[in-house]
Amino acid sequence: MTRAKGTSMSLTHSDGCDTAGFPAYENSCSVDDGAGRAIRDVLDRVGDKWSLLLIATLRGDRLRFSELLKHIPGISQRMLTLTLRQLERDGLISRTVYAEVPPRVEYELTELGGTLIPMARTIGDWALANHPAIEEARAEYDARP
């Protein structure tokens, strides 16, 4: 995981708008400046239904379209295509077309895309560790007047 060093923090504030947890978000610094936009962008990408799952599936592998379809249960052909295009556009995965018959296209993580793996791991770890507590909280919330 690459850490954002001090460089990013100096982007936004001259007014004591420090944000140890989430740079540029606390104390109502503008959301539309660089830092806020960066986070929103990443959340928009990673937060959608299939992107992170796709990243995780491609980890260390080089898979073709039909393989991805099989390895990701529930995804439609359309969403696989769209998600792959998005990720390719963002430079997170690479697409290689082989001029063969029948056609063959392989996808793999770029170096940049690979750096997402630790993030996926962090999210996965948190989910596994705390999901029981969340479910319990939900049950309690739903059961009370």
Question: Footprint of DNA on this chain (CB under 7 A)?
Answer: 1-2, 7, 48-50, 64-67, 69, 74-79, 81, 84-85, 95, 97, 102-105
80 binds its own copies (CB under 8 A): no
Q: Which member of 64, 65, 71, 79 binds its own copies (CB under 8 A)?
A: 71
What token pair was written down for 140? Answer: 């309690």
Nearer to its own copies, 101 or 111 (CB): 111
What token pair was written down for 91? Answer: 């430079």
Kindly report the backbone phi and psi dihedral angles of residue 28, in degrees, each rounded to the nearest multiple of 5, phi listed first. 50, 45
User: Cβ of residue 104: shortest distance to DNA, in angstroms?
Assistant: 5
Instruction: Tell me how far apart the alpha carbons of residues 84 and 112 are, in angstroms, rounded to a whole number.
Output: 15
47 binds its own copies (CB under 8 A): yes
User: Cβ of residue 66: shortest distance to its own copies, in angstroms?
Assistant: 11
Strands (E), the chain: 62-64, 93-98, 104-109
Instruction: Tell me how far apart the alpha carbons of residues 19 and 21 are, in angstroms, rounded to a whole number.
Output: 5
132 binds its own copies (CB under 8 A): yes
What token pair was written down for 38? Answer: 């960066």
Among positions 99-128, residues that touch its own copies (CB under 8 A) are 112, 115-128
Instruction: Tell me how far apart the alpha carbons of residues 81 and 84 are, in angstroms, rounded to a whole number.
Output: 5
16 binds its own copies (CB under 8 A): no
CB within 8 Å of 110: residues ≥ 6 apart: 91, 92, 93, 94
Nearer to its own copies, 48 or 99 (CB): 48
Nearer to its own copies, 6 or 101 (CB): 6
